[in-house]
Each structure stands twice: as C-alpha cells, then as structure tokens.
Amino acid sequence: MKPNAESTFSNGHRGTTTLVWFKRDLRIEDHAPLLRASQEGTCVCLYVYEPELLAAPDVSATHVAFINGCLAELGEQIEALGGQLVIRRGDIVDVLSDLNRTVGFRRIRSHQETGTEVTYRRDLRVKRWAEEHNIEWIETRQHGVFRGQKDRNGWAAKWNADMSCPQTPALSGLQTISGLASTGILSTAELGLGAPPQTEVQSPGSRAALRTLHEFLHQRGEPYQKAMSSPLEGATACSRLSPYLAYGALSMRQVYQSYQRRAHELRTRKKEGEQGLGTWSRSLSSFNKRLHWNGHFTQRLESDPSIEKRPLVRAFEGIRSEAPNLEHFEAWKEGRTGYPMVDACMRFLNATGWLNFRMRSMLVSFASYHLWLPWQMTGTYLARRFLDYEPGIHYNQLQMQSGVTGINAIRIYAPTKQALDQDPEGTFIRRWVPELENLPLRWLAEPHHIDMIDRHQSGFVPGESYPLPIVEHREAVRAARDRIFAVRRTDEAKAQAQDVLKRHGSRRKRRGRH
C-alpha cells in the first residue's frame, strides 16, 4: 500500500489507540512505552523515515543501513507478538496527521531523545501538533538522562537509581490494528542516500547486541583495561556495544544490570577462594566507569544543547575562524597525512565505522591542533563515519580534544609516540597502510626518515610511495599551544571555565585531594 493511502478497513478503535513512536530505541525488551501501550489496549507501532533528518549533515547511509537491519529484526519480533510495525516515509507531523485521521489515537508514547538541534525542533513541532489535537504525548526517560537537570548536583545518584530499576517485563502479546499502510523497509538507495560507504560494520539488531554483550562480559573483556588503548587489541577487547546503545537495540539498563550480575559473580568466586580473577575485576570496573561517562556526556548536551555548535567556554569562539586548509582536511579524511598511525586509524574507521576511544581522540587532536581545523567541521565528517554516533558523547569529546572546554587538560597526541606505544610490532599500520608493509619496523612510525640503504633495499621513496608529513609535528604543536593558552589564560576564559565547572563538572571527589 502507498504510505499515505487511506485504509478501507472498519476501525472500532477510534480514539482509544496508543501510538508507539520508535526512534533511537529499536528493541522490544526493556521498552517501557511499548509495554505501557500493550497494557492500555490497541496500539500502533510506528517508525518514520524523516526526510529532514536524513538530509542532516551528520547522517550517512551507513547509519541508515544499520537502522534498517534493526528495523527488520524489530518488525519480526513485533509480528511474533501478533502486531505490525508500520513504517512510513515523510514529515513526522504529516505522518501523524494521516494516521490520526485513519485510526484516531488518544496518546503517543515514545522514549525521550537527546539529539541535535534538528531532532529538537522536530520534537517541538510534534508537541505543538499533539496539543492542538488534544493528544497526550508521554515520553519516557532513556539511558539515565534527566530533563531539567541544570547542573551535576545529585546526577550520579539519580543515574544509579534509574539504572538499578527493574527492567520492564517481557511482552506476552500485542494488539495492533491490521492493514495499516506501510512502506516497509526502504533501502538507502531508495531514500536517496546511495550505497553505504562502510562495508565492514557490525551486525545490527538486538540479537547481535545481546550476543556481543555476553561475549564481552564472559569471554572477550578480560584484557579490556589494558587493551582498550590499542586499535588492534581494542577491536576485540573493547565491548563493541556502542552502536547498539546509540540506536537503542540495547538499553543502558540492560547493559548495566548485566555488568552488575557479572561483577557480583566474580566477587562471589573470589570470596570462595578462586584465584586469577583480578584482571577481570579491574577490566569490569573500568567498563563501569565508562557506562557512567556515557550518561554524563549525554546529560551535558541535554542540559546545554549549544554544545553541538558553540564552545563551552565562549572565549574560544572563533579561535579557528580563519579559512581552513582544505587540502589538509581532505588528506586527514582520506588517511594521507604522512603520519602512519593517523592514516591507519582513519582508514580503519572509514572501513569499519568503529575505532577505539584513544585513537578517536588522537584523530580529533591531530585535526584540531596540528592542522588547526575547526572541530565543527571535522566533527561533521566523523559523525558520518562513526557507526555509533551519539551526539551527546560526540560533541563533548570534540570540544575536549580541541581544547575549548576550559576545564579539561590540553591533550595533544604525538602520532609517532602513539604508533610506538599502541602498535609496537607495526601490525595495525601494515594492515591499513599497505604502502608501508615492506618497510623495516624501525622506520614504520616515521617513514620519511628512512635511510638510503633501506630505501634502496625496500624500493620505498618518501613522498612518492607514501606522503611526506603534511605538517611538522613540533612546529604545529608549539603554534597550537601558544594560541590555545593565549585565550585560556585570559580573565574572561577563566571566569567562563568556572561557570562550566559549576554546571557540567563531575561532583566525584578526587582521592588524595582535600
């Protein structure tokens, strides 16, 4: 049926139906809006391809292909419960108006979303429409993010309490209206996005998410604490849960409570005298911290949406205002900077949609300091490349690694040092920068320094076989530090940094400090 066609069936549920609006919560487990709707009677399960969102600069075909995989599984699960997932394409208010004319629902249920300015404006339009049509819209909190929270006071305790609440019980069935018009899943080509540029991404859906969670907590995660910094080892030792959390194939509560059960199991085994569990325990403790950080950064964006576009410390506004070097930008995007670790990481990300945290930080640091590119510019590209793009985490990290928060240490990563520390055998660089695969290990981090003997033996020619560094490390870092600290030391920046600390700084007490 065409998406806006009027259904011809007789509707005996007009004015009594609840509409469940799926957005970034593509699951049936621990899904409070769906459970409540099922308890209230007849419901309509809806997902909408929204042209305004699809056209946003931070959305890519890779994201939508992953969403489609989640939708396919979600649709099967809803059908198994006796229901139907209705999929439409169009402006959300137009879709709601059409469905309301057909069905006449009395309320909308959805999860709260902390997204970009585009999704925020969209939600305001839905709110106005619902009010005008006397339809109740009930939004349920997700991921431990609290609306109206203006600072961090009390947030951690609220997050812990929220994550410790029982998960919603499993659904036994759904009563939905049959025969509603639905486009079904539309390919990225049909949506005008073309083919996904990344083909080595993780499998979508809740089943893959739960399998990934179990494998991490019980098999892969033991070396997590030490291995997470390496792009090579981190690919298996890291949880790899981020895309499932980003699109709601898993809830944060599911992850946190699974962690708690596993940590309790390890503590019990240790009390009973079992040896050799220390590495597991330390790794799970590190993982727990990062679950909290997920909520912390998303809460920041919820409390201060301007983080998407403006620096937390306004004194840094315009610090990178001069025309960016577009040749440098292109070289950074394509992995042609002449710094092997930077290039290997970017090529790996461009292929897989994932990169470990430290190397993400290095990519942003290199772009922001060495190349002096605006974080808004590089951030848009990375948003499209990160399969697990989550705005709250993304924009906070961009600002932190660009030195404009005022409250975080200035971290400028040295690409050569990162290569030596995180890829000491050169395995990762050789895999993703094959131009260097025949170089002796001693030159792999800085191939432009290769001596004449090894040039002759390997056939490697700096600048021809592989680019020369597009900037000189020490010179670029010195200039960046001077410019950043020239602003950071001003009274204006210091005062604004204190305000940022008051509103967004962690309330956790530091050990050994008084």
Same domain (yes/no): 103, 233: no
Q: Map 315-347 to HEC letters.
A: HHCCCCCCCCCHHHHHHHHHCCCCCHHHHHHHH
Q: Which residues form the domain of 390?
A: 314-504
| Residue 188 lies inside a defined structural domain of this protein | no
Same domain (yes/no): 261, 379: no
The CATH number that applies at residue 241 is 1.25.40.80
Same domain (yes/no): 437, 494: yes
Number of domains in the chain: 3
Closest CA to 347 of 330, 361, 334: 334
| Residue 190 lies inside a defined structural domain of this protein | no
**CA pair distance 210, 8, nearest whole angstrom:** 40
Closest CA to 504 of 235, 324, 251, 311: 311
Beta-carbon contacts of 132 under 8 Å, excluding residues fewer than 6 positions away, are: none
Dig out the tokens for 362 from the structure: 């290095």
The CATH number that applies at residue 386 is 1.10.579.10
- Asked whether 251 and 143 are in contact (CB, 8 A), the reply is yes
| Residue 274 lies inside a defined structural domain of this protein | yes
Same domain (yes/no): 356, 400: yes
The CATH number that applies at residue 125 is 3.40.50.620
What pLDDT does residue 322 have? 81
| Residue 496 lies inside a defined structural domain of this protein | yes
Same domain (yes/no): 213, 349: no
| Residue 434 lies inside a defined structural domain of this protein | yes
What pLDDT does residue 14 have? 57
Same domain (yes/no): 242, 286: yes
| Residue 182 lies inside a defined structural domain of this protein | no
Q: Are strands 105-111 and 136-140 parallel, antiparallel or unpaired?
A: parallel
Same domain (yes/no): 36, 139: yes
Backbone torsions φ then ψ of 375, nearest 5 degrees: -65, -30
What pLDDT does residue 402 have? 98
**CA pair distance 365, 363, nearest whole angstrom:** 6
What pLDDT does residue 505 have? 77
**CA pair distance 375, 397, nearest whole angstrom:** 10
Beta-carbon contacts of 364 under 8 Å, excluding residues fewer than 6 positions away, are: 375, 378, 379, 382, 397, 398, 401, 402
Burial class (CB in 10 A: 0-12, 13-18, 19+), 185: middle
**CA pair distance 431, 380, nearest whole angstrom:** 27
Over its length of 514 residues, how does the chain's per-residue pLDDT go in tens digits? 333 322 223 344 556 899 999 999 999 999 999 999 999 999 999 999 999 999 999 999 999 999 999 999 999 999 999 999 999 999 999 999 999 999 999 999 999 999 999 999 999 999 999 999 999 999 999 989 999 988 888 999 999 999 999 999 999 999 999 899 999 999 999 999 999 999 899 999 999 999 999 999 999 999 999 999 999 999 999 999 999 999 999 999 999 999 999 999 999 999 999 999 999 999 999 999 999 999 999 999 999 999 999 999 999 999 998 899 999 999 999 999 999 999 999 999 999 999 999 999 999 999 999 999 999 999 999 999 999 999 999 999 999 999 999 999 999 999 999 999 999 999 999 999 999 999 999 999 999 999 999 999 999 999 999 999 999 999 999 999 999 999 999 999 999 999 999 988 765 654 443 3
**CA pair distance 259, 253, nearest whole angstrom:** 10
Last residue of a domain, one of 151, 171, 187: 151
**CA pair distance 186, 405, nearest whole angstrom:** 40
| Residue 80 lies inside a defined structural domain of this protein | yes
Beta-carbon contacts of 43 under 8 Å, excluding residues fewer than 6 positions away, are: 17, 18, 19, 20, 34, 37, 83, 174, 175, 176
Same domain (yes/no): 218, 131: no
Stated pTM of the model: 0.94
Last residue of a domain, one of 107, 125, 151: 151
Dig out the tokens for 431 from the structure: 């895999």
List the beta bridge partners of residue 164: none
Same domain (yes/no): 394, 289: no
Same domain (yes/no): 88, 58: yes
Give the three-class secondary structure for 85. Answer: strand
Strand positions, DSSP E, 4-104? 17-22, 43-49, 85-89
What pLDDT does residue 151 have? 84
Dig out the tokens for 163 from the structure: 């994550």
**CA pair distance 136, 108, nearest whole angstrom:** 6
Same domain (yes/no): 33, 101: yes
Last residue of a domain, one of 277, 304, 331: 304
**CA pair distance 12, 369, nearest whole angstrom:** 63
Tokens 């649709």 -> residue: 75
Same domain (yes/no): 115, 30: yes
| Residue 297 lies inside a defined structural domain of this protein | yes
**CA pair distance 497, 40, nearest whole angstrom:** 48
What pLDDT does residue 5 have? 29
The DSSP output letter for 468 is P
Burial class (CB in 10 A: 0-12, 13-18, 19+), 156: middle
